[in-house]
Amino acid sequence: MSAPSTVSAGRNIAYSVLMQNAGPSNENSASILTRIPDGLVFSPQNSDAICAQQGANILCSGLAVMSGQSRGVTLAFSVSTNSPCNEIFQNSAIVMGKNSDRNFSNNFSPWVSTTVQCMSPSGI
C-alpha cells in the first residue's frame, strides 16, 4: 500500500494497493481488505469499482491474479474540510486468497501515513 505523504483538508487521499502473486498457483478470487481510517469517508466514485464499503471496512473482492503477476487497486477517501493541520491518517491492507498460501506473513502491507498539510495565512 502506498499513499501521498501529505493532503490538504477537503481533498482526497488515494491509496494504491498492489497485490503480487508469487505462485506457484493462480489466484482467481483474491480479496483486499482495509479499515476506513478514523476521520475519513470512503469515496467510491474515485475508487476501483470492484471495491465497496462494508461497515467500517473496504473490501475489494473477486480479483484474479495469475502466478507471477500483480494487480493493483485504488482506494480513495475524502478528508474533512475541518481536519486540523498536522492530523495524521494511517492505513494498511491485508490480502486474502482462496488458494493455499504457504507464506501468509507477506499478505499484510506496511502502514502508510498521510499528514494534513495546511497553508500559512499568507498562502506561502
The CATH number of the domain holding residue 49 is 2.60.40.290
**Number of domains within the chain:** 1
pLDDT exceeds 80 at position 24: yes
Tell whether 102 is covered by a domain.
yes
pTM of the model: 0.87
Tell whether 116 is covered by a domain.
no
Q: What is the mean pLDDT of the segment spanning 73-88?
A: 95
Rounded Cα–Cα distance for residues 122 and 24 (Å): 57
pLDDT exceeds 60 at position 124: no
Q: What is the mean pLDDT of the segment spanning 1-27?
A: 92
At residue 119 the predicted structure's pLDDT band, cuts being 50, 70 and 90, is: confident
Tell whether 101 is covered by a domain.
yes
Cβ count within 10 A of residue 66: 13
pLDDT higher for 98 or 100?
98
Tell whether 44 is covered by a domain.
yes
Tell whether 19 is covered by a domain.
yes
75 DSSP β-pair partners: 15
Q: Cell numbers of 32, please?
A: 483486499
What's the domain range around 61?
A: 6-109
* Phi, psi (degrees; rounded to nearest 5) at 46: -110, 5
Tell whether 57 is covered by a domain.
yes
Which pLDDT does position 123 carry in this prediction?
52
Q: What is the mean pLDDT of the segment spanning 93-107?
A: 74
From residue 8, give the alpha-carbon distance in Å to each of 34, 69, 80, 111, 117. 22, 34, 9, 20, 5
At residue 103 the predicted structure's pLDDT band, cuts being 50, 70 and 90, is: low
Tell whether 25 is covered by a domain.
yes
Helices (H) and strands (E) in the chain, counts: 0, 10
Tell whether 52 is covered by a domain.
yes
- Asked if 13 and 7 touch (Cβ cutoff 8 Å), the reply is yes
At residue 25 the predicted structure's pLDDT band, cuts being 50, 70 and 90, is: confident
Q: Cell numbers of 116, please?
A: 494534513
